[in-house]
């Protein structure tokens, strides 16, 4: 079974973005739950077949602290 990996980041404008690694798929949404649905929809649109795929979301959170 094919596995697709998406890098998920918080958008500076609000919400989240997901970028496919190794595939040209990009999507965005306001919440993580909406983003999961958007990623699934984007994968189905990108691959016009009925093959099952594993989707892995790699959530990156950047945090800045003063020292």
Q: For residues 24 and 16, what is the distance between their CA atoms, to the nearest angstrom? A: 17
Measured in residues, the chain has a length of: 67
E-strand stretches of the chain: 2-10, 16-21, 26-29, 53-60
Q: What's the domain count of the chain?
A: 1
**For residue 44, what are the contacts with CB-CB under 8 A and spacing of at least 6?**
none
pLDDT tens sequence across 12-21: 899 999 999 9
Position 52 in a domain: yes
Determine the structural domain holding residue 37 and report its residue range.
2-60
pLDDT tens sequence across 26-65: 999 999 999 999 999 999 999 988 899 999 999 998 888 9
Position 27 in a domain: yes
């Amino acid at each position: 079974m094919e596995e697709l990996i998406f890098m998920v980041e918080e958008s500076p404008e609000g919400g989240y973005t997901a970028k496919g690694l190794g595939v040209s798929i990009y999507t965005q949404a306001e919440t993580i739950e909406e983003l999961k649905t958007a990623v699934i929809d984007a994968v189905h649109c990108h691959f016009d077949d009925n093959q099952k795929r594993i989707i892995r979301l790699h959530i990156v959170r950047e945090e800045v602290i003063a020292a």
